[in-house]
Chain A
Amino acid sequence: MYAEQDEFRPLEVESVRKDFPIFAGDSPVAYLDSAASSQTPFCVIEAMDDYYQNYRSNIHRGIYRMSEEATAQYEEARKKIARFINARRSSQVVFTRNTTESINLVAYSWGSANVREGDEILLSVMEHHSNLLPWQLLVERTGAKLRFIEVTDEGLLQLEDLDQLLTERTKLVAITHISNVLGTINPVQQITAAAHSVGAKVLIDGAQSVPHLSVDVQDLDCDFLAFSGHKMCGPTGIGVLYGKRDLLDEMPPFLGGGSMIRSVQRESSTYADVPAKFEAGTPSIAEAIGLGHSVDYLSRIGLDPVHVHEQQTLEYAHQKLSEIDGMTIYGPKPRQKAGVVTFNLEGIHPHDLAGVLDTEGVAVRAGHHCAQPLMQKYGVIATARASFYLYNTMEDVDRLYDGLLKAQNLLVRRKR
């Protein structure tokens, strides 16, 4: 796309950190929870401030300069995001609230029009609840059936079952690109090709991949891609659904209201073309503009340098954490996964790990990570998770390590 992206320039983490207000000051947090939500750089905050301070108004139909400016910025953001994922046309980018809403949009609109009793939807055991519940609800409405690709003890998809799971009954494969718990990077291109060979459509949950890897929708050939702005240096409240144009054109509306119509009569209406058909009501304007700027920001740095930086951090984290007695790390080896380490320390509840780490200024997540079927597979109730992004340093990993040793000294239960 851009010449500057083709040239690999290693990421300079100290310079990256200066772009983020949260890391200013003498004792910045060791923020290891970007898989839940990332931090926001100045340029994104400033772009949203600029909208609120200088041209705040509603988009479309406003015949005055501020509204025209807001519309132009909102649509410019759509183009930037389309280029970022290499969509053929910007109209294939539908703004939603988040990944969850994007997947629900497909489940209600495409699902209700295309899925019938006896049909099957193929998921995996490592799906986030946001790529499970919408399909459970669809199955309840239609009488279709869910099937699952199992996960190996190592944390990889059991792909040898794929041929047997994919049949002419399979209408859709909905699969995560990267597991939010294990970090596993799934071979979605291969899965998509296999699904297409039996006539099934493919939805990829890109919530954990689009922020960290170059995702090219034409290369993957997926039918739908869902992701969230807030995990990729963007604001909360803005997400994206990408879809193939013929599918989006045929799909019935999801939410009804303003902006999504062509003409409205008392009893019935005709609908606008995509993407407006799926953007009823006033959207998150500032947030869409902000997301456009976060995409600019990530493109300037380059996702390849981001990925290399995360891999280095991840390998160091695996090495350090493995030194601790009683440590269990879930999921595959660093080379097969993204910057996520999910673990348990023997004898210490993950809530306590997170609690002690918090007192040391280290932010990690603890719980079931909205992936209870995966927790059940590993026979655990909860785990702790550290996740890395472009602004994390090796020192953050050292602080995690020191905090875990402190938790162990404090909390390992004496024998009764």
Chain B
Amino acid sequence: MNIYEEDILDHYQNPSNYGTLEKPDISYEDDNPLCGDKIRVDLQIEEGIIKDVRFSGHGCTISQAAASMLTEEIKGQALEDVKKLTKDDILEMLGIPLGPVRLKCGLLALKALKAGAYGIKGWPGEEDDEEA
């Protein structure tokens, strides 16, 4: 399967919720030291619901498309429900398999979101490894 599927290119070229919020309740920037990609996620929360969300930063197609898809997915959801999103949810949104290097590109936005909203640091899907 080609990782440059039309859907992904569409999100990359015309991303949803791109930009920043003027007065975000939560704002967090994270980076991928392997390739230098940076993504900032801004959230506006009202009564536990994500009323608005923006992402900004730079990176490859996969990281930008995944961020765009993620922001579409979480807008209007309860912040507490969003906590349950996993690596597999991102892969399902992207609809393509990713190798280990590109996987981090795909997960960067979720990583930034979880670090900002819940203080959960580390790559989604690798949390269990740290306990070993």
Q: Is A410 an interface residue (CB 8 A)?
A: yes
| Among B2, B36, B61, contact of A368 (Cβ-Cβ < 8 Å) | B36
A244 to chain B, nearest CB (A): 38
Instruction: Give the docked Cα–Cα distance between A368 and B62 (Å).
Output: 18
Q: Which of B4, B35, B60, B62 has the most CB of A within 10 A?
A: B60
Are A381 and B60 in contact, with the CB atoms below 8 A? no
Are A349 and B14 in contact, with the CB atoms below 8 A? no
Within 8 A of A (CB), among B15-42: 18, 34-37
CB within 8 Å for A411 and B35 given contacts A355-B60, A356-B4: no
Instruction: Give the docked Cα–Cα distance between A416 and B101 (Å).
Output: 29
For this complex, into which size category does the number of interface residues on chain B fall? 20 to 34
Instruction: Give the docked Cα–Cα distance between A382 and B34 (Å).
Output: 10
Q: Is A266 an interface residue (CB 8 A)?
A: no
A152 to chain B, nearest CB (A): 24
| Among A349, A359, A413, contact of B2 (Cβ-Cβ < 8 Å) | A359
Instruction: Give the docked Cα–Cα distance between A308 and B100 (Å).
Output: 38
Instruction: Give the docked Cα–Cα distance between A356 and B4 (Å).
Output: 8
Closest to A381 in B: B36
Are A382 and B36 in contact, with the CB atoms below 8 A? yes
Within 8 A of B (CB), among A219-244: none
Kindly supply a per-residue 1/0 record for chain B positions 90-106, scoring 1 wherever the CB is within 8 Å of any chain A CB and 0 otherwise: 00000000000110010
CB within 8 Å for A414 and B36 given contacts A355-B60, A355-B61: no
B111 to chain A, nearest CB (A): 17
Q: Which of B4, B9, B59, B101 has the most CB of A within 10 A?
A: B4
| Among A359, A366, A411, A416, contact of B9 (Cβ-Cβ < 8 Å) | A411
Q: Is the interface of B mostly helix, strand, loop or mixed?
A: mixed
Are A349 and B9 in contact, with the CB atoms below 8 A? no
B63 to chain A, nearest CB (A): 8
Closest to A359 in B: B2
Instruction: Give the docked Cα–Cα distance between A367 and B58 (Å).
Output: 14
Q: Is B55 an interface residue (CB 8 A)?
A: no
Residues of chain B lying within 8 A (CB to CB) of residue A368? 35-36
Residues of chain A lying within 8 A (CB to CB) of residue B12? 411, 413
Are A351 and B4 in contact, with the CB atoms below 8 A? no
CB within 8 Å for A349 and B4 given contacts A367-B35, A411-B9: no
Are A367 and B14 in contact, with the CB atoms below 8 A? no
Instruction: Give the docked Cα–Cα distance between A359 and B2 (Å).
Output: 7
Q: Is A352 an interface residue (CB 8 A)?
A: yes
Are A351 and B105 in contact, with the CB atoms below 8 A? yes
B29 to chain A, nearest CB (A): 15
Closest to B19 in A: A416
A165 to chain B, nearest CB (A): 30
Are A367 and B13 in contact, with the CB atoms below 8 A? no
Within 8 A of B (CB), among A362-416: 366-368, 381-382, 410-411, 413-414, 416
Q: Is B3 an interface residue (CB 8 A)?
A: yes
| Among B3, B14, B34, contact of A355 (Cβ-Cβ < 8 Å) | B3
CB within 8 Å for A416 and B4 given contacts A349-B60, A349-B61, A411-B9: no
Are B60 and A352 in contact, with the CB atoms below 8 A? yes
B: residues with CB less than 8 A from A are 2-4, 9, 12-14, 18, 34-37, 58-62, 101-102, 105
Please provide the 3 A-B residue pairs with the shortest distance between their CB atoms, ordered closest to farther.
Answer: A381-B36, A349-B60, A351-B60
List 26 contacting pairs A-B, 8 Å CB cutoff, sorted by A: A349-B58, A349-B59, A349-B60, A350-B35, A350-B60, A351-B35, A351-B61, A351-B62, A351-B102, A352-B61, A355-B3, A355-B4, A355-B61, A355-B62, A359-B2, A359-B3, A359-B4, A366-B35, A381-B36, A410-B4, A410-B9, A411-B4, A413-B13, A414-B14, A416-B14, A416-B18
A: residues with CB less than 8 A from B are 349-352, 355-356, 359, 366-368, 381-382, 410-411, 413-414, 416
